[in-house]
Structure 1
Amino acid sequence: MTTPRSIVCSSRVLAAVLATGTLLTTAACSSAEDGASAGSETASAAVERARATQTGSPTSTASSPTASSSASQLTETGAKNALITAADIEDNWTQVENPQAWKDSLLVGKVDVAAFVTGKSDAQDCQNLVDSLYDETLLGSTSGVSALTGFQEDDARLLYQVASYDKAALDKSMTSLQSLPDTCDQFTLTGGDNGDRTVQVVAMSLPDVGDARQGMTVTVKGDSNGRPVTLTVDVAVVQVGANAITVTNGGTAGISHDTTTTAVKQGTQRLQEVLAGGTPQPTPSGIN
């Protein structure tokens, strides 16, 4: 009968290996039959081999889930940093001080645009669209931070919002927006001080940015103070995770779709940079 060979270890080698935190049986121990050759291996050699094994082990360099999650959360400071500036959209746009007041009164020339778009529609989705043109509720209530800025150029106004939402609610809002050019292609707005107004909604293409996007051009025609008025507004939304940017751009004297497109591209880039943990730098004049 063959007698099983016992495994023996030099006490000096074993102590040295344990000191490195790694037990390398194959490096530091030998069978009784090979004891002579194992005995020639010094403790220092075993330690070096153990250290080499530790050093050669791959180490993950990925950020921890906590750090990654923290970087993706939009903070109040981050939302403000993600807002576009006049340099981002160029031309002769200037920033205004209190765009939050536009939902109550927005005088463009001799027309109070806020009053002009106030009215009733038979379809609730269409009603929500006109109600939210110049406030912060196009995508529903925010679940976190929200930042708002506004710009003016002659008879045009641009309202820009960055906000965070409940992800499921935001997904639902984006799906609803995508259906508006079909469900609200043309409807009548009644009531208010401006009589009946005809509203048309047409889909607008946007740059392929963000996780999801929807653009549309809203045209409202009617009378204000006895004069015919046509208000044309681009509405653009881009979703990035549980966050979104919203652009409302237009006025009573035509519209620059290029400005809307530029605001979308620059704004999405700024938001993504903030969510990655960075701080967007000012856009140099002449560069879009």
Structure 2
Amino acid sequence: MRRPYRVLARVMALGMLAGAAACVVDDPGHPRGFPEAASVDETTASASPTAPATPALTDARARSALLRQDDLGDAWSGTQGAATWRDGLLKGRTDRPECQALLDAVYAEDVLGEPKGGTAVTGFDDYEYGAQLRYQVGAYDKADVDARLRRLGQLIGTCEEFTITGVQGREYGAEVAPVELPGNLGDARQGLRLIVSGDVEGEDSALTLDLATVRVGDTAALLTHGGLYGIDDTATTEAAQAGIKRLQALLKEQTEKKNEKKDPKKDPKQDKDPKQQQEKKDTKAPSDENSSEEGSSDEARGRPTSRTGALAASASTPPASA
């Protein structure tokens, strides 16, 4: 059942946060985070300068592995832009360095690091819950992603509770908890839930943000799903499963095509039984000798060798290679 009051509440809260964000002065030492350019569906991020000559995933292939609206349901549509709560509630300082690293990574959505090949990103808005979902997929260094996932797991345990001081001096309480992802989802995975609560223009508000990171071979996907009025608890896992399924299908197709190029179809002549080939040679030998003798007899009589005899003589010459 749809909840239209969530939409009205969302509009009011976003308006209040937009006013707060208008007063924000950019902090050069803080990551920028989700760009406004992400409002265009299936935009691509530029590859790293150190990308290999033959990346595992190109930008075009990465786009084909992105989530689609059909994967999410009728309540979702292409995003209209970055939600203002990103700057209003996630951009701030903490008094604990390890928790600052976690907050910065979540705010900038920079959990995977620099891509080593093609990458693409898309976003969706949920008008029922007033939530927003962002999905990024690309080629990355496998060892680097695994190290980042381990570090992320450590920070989840370390930063269960901390305080965020926003750019306007407001303080917000933050809670972090792990999000269990299916054990068969990709080759490695890590999920978390961040809840940021506090006073927003005189009203108590709480942002719930899920983050799921999954590695598949040398590729990885990052999904964030958050909103000010709660989120669908099942949407994060279901979206991650749909995205990884699409990515795995793409990689399987890519591997099959690569194997076909390495192992082209063999020449049918090479598939013949060597024993049968030898028997055929033995059968042809007597006729070849007779043809040769006939040609010699013709030459002795002063007659030119017939064309049929010449072709038979050439056929008796064994091939250069079997």
TM-score range relative to shorter protein: 0.5 to 0.7
Aligned to 1:186: 161
Larger % of helix: which?
2
Residue of structure 2 equivalent to 1:203: 178
Aligned: 1:92 with 2:75: yes
Residue in structure 2 matched with residue 174 of structure 1 by the alignment: 149
Aligned to 2:61: 78
Gaps of 5+ in 1: 1-69, 279-288
Q: Structure 1 residues 136, 142: closer, same or farther in 2, change over 3 A?
A: farther
Q: Post-superposition shift, 1:83?
A: 0.5
Task: Give 1:152 deviation, angstroms.
Answer: 0.5
Corresponding residue number in structure 2 for 1:124: 97
Q: Residue by residue, what CA displacement relative to the aligned partner does 1:174-226 show, whole Å, maximum 9, x if unpaired? A: 11112222111111111412511111011111122100111111100112223
Shift of 1:138: 1.7
| SS, match of residue 132 in structure 1 | helix
Q: Match for 2:143: what amino acid?
A: A
Distance in 2, matches of 1:269 and 1:201, equals 27
**Contact 2:137–2:220 at 8 Å: present in 1 too?**
yes
Q: Is the 8 A contact 1:72 1:276 kept in 2?
A: no
- Does residue 150 of the first structure (1) align with residue 133 of the second (2)? no
Contact 2:89 2:166 in 1 (8 A): no
Q: Matches of 2:80 and 2:171 in 1, distance apart?
A: 32
* TM norm structure 1: 0.64
Letter in 1 for 2:68: T
Query: Are the equivalent residues in 1 in contact too, given 2:156–2:178 (CA < 8 A)?
Result: yes
Cα 1:125–1:146 shift into 2, 3 Å: farther
Distance 2:142 2:214 in 1: 13
Conserved in 2, the CA contact under 8 Å of 1:72 and 1:275?
no
3-state secondary structure, aligned to 1:144? coil
* Corresponding residue of 1:138: 111
For residues 188 and 224 of structure 1, the distance between their equivalents in structure 2, rounded to whole angstroms, comes to: 15
CA change 1:194–1:82 in 2 (3 A) is farther
What is the root-mean-square deviation in Å for CA atoms of aligned residues?
A: 2.4
Deviation at 1:94, TM superposition (A): 0.3
Change (3 A) 1:214 1:151: same
Q: What is the total number of aligned residue pairs between the two structures?
A: 201
- In 2, distance between residues paired with 1:176 and 1:96? 30
The residue identity in structure 1 corresponding to 2:249 is E
**Residues 170 and 146 (structure 1), Cα distance of their counterparts in 2 relative to 1, 3 Å cut:** same
If the length of structure 2 is used for normalisation, what is the TM-score?
A: 0.58
Q: State whether structure 2 residue 201 is matched by structure 1 residue 228.
A: no
Contact 1:217-1:233 within 8 A present in 2 as well? yes
Say yes or no: does 1:271 pair with 2:247.
Answer: yes
The 1-side partners of 2:121 and 2:56 are apart by: 18
Structure 1, residues 248-270: CA drift from partner, whole Å, max 9, x if none? 11201111121111111111111
Task: State the Cα deviation string for residues 17-43 of structure 1 (Å, max 9, x = none).
Answer: xxxxxxxxxxxxxxxxxxxxxxxxxxx
